Amino acid sequence: MLDSCRGLCAVSVMLFHMDANTHFYWLPVIRNSYVAVDFFFVLSGFVIASAYGNRLRIPQDARRFALRRFGRLYPLHIAVLGIYIGIELGRLYFLHAPDAFTNNTSVPSLFANLFLVQGFTPDHETWNYPAWSISVELWANFAFAVLAVSLGRRFLACSLLILAATGAFVASNGRLTLPVSPVEVDVLLDAMRSIFGFLLGTITFALFDAVRRRGWKLFRAAELLVLPLIVCAFGYTDVLPDLGPPLVFSVVVFLFAFEVGPLSALLKRPACLKLGASSYSIYLTHSLYLLLMTVIVYALARHLGLPPSISVGGDDLLTLGGRWTMDGAALLCVSAAIMGSVLTYRYIEEPARIFFNRLSDSRIVGIPRIFPIRAASRARR
């Protein structure tokens, strides 16, 4: 059910990035949809803690976890990046574009994207720009595994300390005096806010698990509190403190985790579950569909002798045939992204996940001999 929420948030991020003169472009819920990334990190921390919190005990567990997370996040990323590289090669060799492999598609930033470290560099929104958050998530996952294995029972206390440190940095909003440029400060703020959300998700699961173990139940009507919380997070982000959205989403995830209310029943419908299953593909591939939409609008405008875009409020927005026409174009674009994501999930994400899961359990990633007794006992489980 929580995956269904992830699917809706992925679509909202796509609409946020869609620079088109539609009727909904200036709606606060769309212009503030960048906060959906906070939801992704809170939910990711919750899900990872739920699935692996009690399974990371020895170095072998961390290696298996790291391989599985790599197999979950990297294959689709490299596939989309490969398409962008192909586009730049086509622009260079067929169109002789002088700006090929420059600016946001430069060669140096390409290497950062190949190693998925761009989320910690000034080039974090290069090539497939939404992938910066995947970069932060992958390395946050790796750090989670290392700390869980290294610290054992002290992991929760360490998480609280890191949560406080990252929260304090984000709350400072870049006002600290650091020996880095303003651009690098902004990058650090994005990365720290994401890590804060991820750790907040792990703490949220610890709280949920404690409540569940005591047999406490949530009133069905309590889930309806989610609605004003979501309105607050998406509608009033500008007046909330920087830590506001992650904190609000932690409450949303906690309430939805019980799956007892009317909203949960709605989000368990097959269509919502299907959208949730494709959410990662929607998020990571939507920039390609937006690029295709831009190319088509410019081509049609050139053919019809019309301006392809207009400046509204300082933003350059696609326009062709008026707002109703762009509404239709936006609907087609989102529909294409969803249908295409169903295919990329089926033919890229799922096969890669299965392959790396099997690889993590194979002898290729054998358990070190320093744990022979525990390895044997785990094999019998």
Q: How far apart are CA 325 and CA 308, in angstroms?
A: 13
pLDDT band at 1 (very low <50, low <70, confident <90, very high): low
Instruction: Note the pTM of the prediction, 2 decimals.
Output: 0.89
Q: Which residue has the higher pLDDT, 213 or 134?
A: 134
Summarize pLDDT for 325-373 with one digit per residue, the tens.
Answer: 999 999 999 999 999 999 999 999 999 999 999 998 875 444 443 333 3
Asked if 134 and 77 count as a contact pair (C-beta separation under 8 A), the reply is yes
Amino acid making up residue 197: G
CA-based R_g, the chain, Å: 22
Tokens of 208: 């949920």
CA nearest 134: which of 183, 76, 182, 84?
76
CA distances (Å), origin 5, targets 180, 276, 366 = 37, 7, 37
Q: How far apart are CA 213 and CA 68, in angstroms?
A: 28
Amino acid making up residue 371: F
Tokens of 211: 């409540």
The count of other CB atoms within 10 Å of the CB of residue 325 is: 15
Tokens of 249: 């989403």
Distance of CA 1 to the CA centre of its chain: 17
pLDDT of residue 224: 81
pLDDT of residue 174: 65
Query: Does residue 255 have a pLDDT over 70?
Result: yes
One DSSP character per residue, 299-354 reads HHHHHHT--SEEEETTEEEE-SS-HHHHHHHHHHHHHHHHHHHHHHIIIIIHHHHH
Summarize pLDDT for 176-223 with one digit per residue, the tens.
Answer: 766 777 888 888 889 999 999 999 999 999 999 888 888 877 777 777
Distance of CA 304 to the CA centre of its chain: 38
Asked if 124 and 118 count as a contact pair (C-beta separation under 8 A), the reply is yes
Distance of CA 99 to the CA centre of its chain: 29
pLDDT of residue 264: 81
Q: How far apart are CA 362 and CA 277, in angstroms?
A: 26
One DSSP character per residue, 160-178 reads HHHHHHHHHHHHHTT-S--
Query: Does residue 71 have a pLDDT over 90?
Result: yes
Q: Can you tell me the mean pLDDT for 299-317? A: 88
CA nearest 259: which of 206, 222, 232?
222
Amino acid making up residue 102: T
- Cβ-proximal residues to 51 (8 Å cutoff; 6+ apart), any chain: none
pLDDT of residue 251: 92
CA nearest 334: which of 268, 368, 265, 285?
285
pLDDT band at 43 (very low <50, low <70, confident <90, very high): very high
